[in-house]
């Protein structure tokens, strides 16, 4: 009985995940952006930080 | 009643656009993230109220109209354009409302699904934070006036995040522990605690309801996305005010992003880059708005 219950719940969950893309980002508040940054963007960020660190030290 | 509701939704097309234009102009004039956030929040609240107000205003208006219209139609040879439009909307009101309700319900189900998934994320496979970080987190929470926040780590999250309003749960990615310095982790925790302090979770729920109900208006999505972005900037400001080092906080964000291990193949709009650029370029005085809040509680 319990097994069937869990199986049913699993099925509903999979259906919901498939229908709606499986994202929880709408309901959490996260420090990073929803989509990961690209390699170029990461490079640019590193440059920005390096420039500022040098400027601060000089 | 269907007709009034359909009219309220149709009138919202121009009302929403007018509010968006006003908020766009306002945003050009405001520089502080906290003011910009308030402008967006105010605009979204107005957008949510506009159809309700229109509906209430139309209720006596339309009943009066339908009482007097029939004799007018009898005498007029050619119905005016307004009359034609009115009757089109009246005959299709139920259809329009059905479509609107279907769209709104679909998005509401999506939001509930996201909620359930987020709750699973903060209730399963959690690990406690190392003792020293946990102590630092509790100390930070007290200094920011946040009560009842719980702290965990999880290997299933990519970013530091918070879920919940009255009993918020803050989760750090397990990969960040040990790879980021304690000061960097504290700065990220300050960002999340700022969300708690500002009741952002609850506001985000209201915001999501507004998006669901007014989904058919692109201006609603635009203002809402703007509001989400400004909210992050506000919390960035609190984090920097707490750790007093924008380079350290920028590095913390960068490290966290690097740990995702799945850089996007195409450019994604560079939102994180813009945030970090803003942190590093903003003179101290423009961020001062966050400082009194923190200084007062520190």
| Interval B12-67: pLDDT, tens | 999 999 999 999 999 999 999 999 999 999 999 999 999 999 999 988 766 555 55
**Whether residue B173 is found in the same domain as residue B58:** no
Q: For A11-25, B118-132, B198-212, which range has the lowest pLDDT when averaged over its residues?
A: A11-25
**Whether residue B71 is found in the same domain as residue B145:** no
In chain B, where do the E strands start and end? 126-127, 150-154, 161-163, 169-173
Instruction: Output B220 or B117, whichever has higher pLDDT.
Output: B220
Q: For B28-42, B73-87, B210-224, B250-264, which range has the lowest pLDDT when averaged over its residues?
A: B73-87
- Report d(CA B207, CA B95) in Å as an integer: 26
Nearest to A22 among B111, B117, B280 (CB): B117
Percent of chain B with pLDDT over 70: 83
Per-residue pLDDT tens digits for A31-48: 998 888 888 899 999 999
**Are A26 and B208 in contact (CB < 8 Å)?**
yes
Residues making up chain A, counted from first to last = 58
- Report d(CA B173, CA B175) in Å as an integer: 5
Per-residue pLDDT tens digits for B272-286: 999 999 999 876 655
**Are B192 and A46 in contact (CB < 8 Å)?**
no
- Give pLDDT, residue A18: 67
Nearest residue in chain B measured CA to CA from A45? B273
Nearest to A45 among B110, B195, B254 (CB): B254
- Give pLDDT, residue B78: 54
- Give pLDDT, residue B63: 59
**Whether residue B158 is found in the same domain as residue B20:** no
Select from B57, B85, B118 the last residue of a domain.
Answer: B118
Residue A39 distance to chain B (closest CA, Å): 6
- Report d(CA B4, CA B10) in Å as an integer: 10
- Give pLDDT, residue B216: 95
| Probe site for chain A from B37, B114, B211 (most A CB atoms < 10 A) | B114
- B270 contacts in A (CB within 8 Å)? 37, 41, 44
Select from B91, B118, B145 the last residue of a domain.
Answer: B118
The closest of B40, B44, B14, B16 to B27, measured between CA atoms, is B40
Nearest to B162 among A28, A32, A44 (CB): A28
Per-residue pLDDT tens digits for B87-119: 788 888 899 999 999 999 999 999 999 999 899
- Report d(CA B273, CA B65) in Å as an integer: 56
- A53 contacts in B (CB within 8 Å)? 247
**Whether residue B139 is found in the same domain as residue B90:** no
β-strands B126-127, B150-154: how paired?
antiparallel
Q: Is the pLDDT of residue B194 over 50?
A: yes
Query: Could you give the number of structural domains in chain B?
Result: 2
- How many CB pairs (< 8 A) connect A and B? 134
**Whether residue B86 is found in the same domain as residue B127:** no
- Give pLDDT, residue B286: 56
Q: Are B8 and B58 in contact (CB under 8 A)?
A: yes
- Give pLDDT, residue B218: 96
Domain enclosing residue B9, as ranges: 2-118
| Probe site for chain B from A31, A35, A47 (most B CB atoms < 10 A) | A31
**Whether residue B129 is found in the same domain as residue B111:** no
| Probe site for chain A from B115, B116, B117, B252 (most A CB atoms < 10 A) | B117
Per-residue pLDDT tens digits for B139-148: 999 999 998 8
Residue A4 distance to chain B (closest CA, Å): 21
3-state secondary structure B69-87: HHHHHHHCCCCCHHHHHHH
**Whether residue B188 is found in the same domain as residue B41:** no
**Whether residue B76 is found in the same domain as residue B140:** no
**Whether residue B132 is found in the same domain as residue B278:** yes
Burial of B178 (0-12, 13-18, 19+ CB in 10 A): exposed
Write down the pTM of the prediction: 0.84
- What number is the average pLDDT over the span B121-137? 93
- Give pLDDT, residue B81: 56
What strands lie across the sheet with B126-127, from one edge to the other? A29-30, B161-163, B169-173, B150-154, B126-127
Nearest residue in chain B measured CA to CA from A35? B268
**Whether residue B86 is found in the same domain as residue B149:** no
Nearest to B159 among A17, A31, A52 (CB): A31
Select from B118, B137, B163 the last residue of a domain.
Answer: B118
- Give pLDDT, residue B60: 78
- Give pLDDT, residue A58: 44
Nearest residue in chain B measured CA to CA from A54? B247
Q: Are B277 and A51 in contact (CB under 8 A)?
A: no
- Give pLDDT, residue B73: 47
Q: For B125-134, B183-192, B230-239, B257-266, which range has the lowest pLDDT when averaged over its residues?
A: B257-266
**Whether residue B101 is found in the same domain as residue B217:** no
**Whether residue B97 is found in the same domain as residue B190:** no
- Give pLDDT, residue B262: 66
Nearest to A49 among B110, B232, B251 (CB): B251
């Amino acid at each position: 009985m319990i097994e069937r219950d869990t199986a049913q719940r699993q099925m509903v969950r999979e259906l919901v995940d498939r229908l709606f893309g499986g994202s929880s980002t709408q309901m959490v508040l996260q420090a990073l952006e929803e989509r990961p940054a690209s390699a170029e963007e990461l490079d640019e960020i590193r440059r920005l930080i390096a420039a500022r660190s040098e400027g601060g030290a000089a | 009643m269907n007709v009034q509701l359909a009219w309220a939704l149709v009138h919202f097309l121009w009302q929403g656009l007018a509010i968006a234009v006003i908020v766009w102009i306002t945003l050009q004039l405001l520089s502080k993230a906290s003011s910009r956030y308030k402008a967006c929040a105010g605009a979204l609240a107005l957008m949510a109220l506009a159809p309700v107000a229109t509906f209430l205003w139309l209720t006596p208006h339309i009943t009066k109209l339908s009482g007097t219209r029939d004799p007018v139609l009898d005498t007029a040879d050619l119905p005016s354009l307004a009359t034609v439009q009115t009757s089109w909307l009246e005959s299709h009101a139920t259809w329009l409302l059905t479509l609107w309700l279907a769209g709104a319900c679909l998005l509401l189900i999506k939001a509930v699904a996201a909620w359930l998934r987020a709750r699973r994320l903060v209730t399963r496979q959690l690990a406690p934070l190392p003792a020293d970080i946990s102590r630092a987190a509790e100390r930070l929470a007290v200094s920011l006036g946040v009560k009842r926040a719980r702290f965990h780590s999880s290997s299933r999250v990519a970013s530091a995040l918070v879920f919940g309003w009255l009993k918020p749960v803050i989760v750090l990615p397990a990969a960040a522990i040990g790879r980021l310095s304690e000061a960097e982790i504290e700065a990220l925790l300050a960002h999340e605690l700022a969300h708690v302090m500002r009741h952002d979770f609850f506001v985000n729920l209201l915001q999501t309801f507004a998006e669901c109900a007014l989904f058919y208006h692109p201006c609603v999505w635009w203002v809402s996305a703007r509001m989400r972005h400004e909210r992050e900037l506000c919390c960035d400001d609190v984090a920097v005010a707490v750790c007093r080092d924008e380079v350290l906080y920028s590095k913390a964000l960068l490290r966290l992003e690097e740990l995702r291990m799945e850089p996007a193949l195409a450019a994604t709009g560079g939102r994180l880059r813009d945030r970090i650029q803003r942190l590093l370029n903003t003179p101290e005085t423009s961020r001062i708005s966050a400082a009194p809040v923190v200084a007062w509680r520190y």
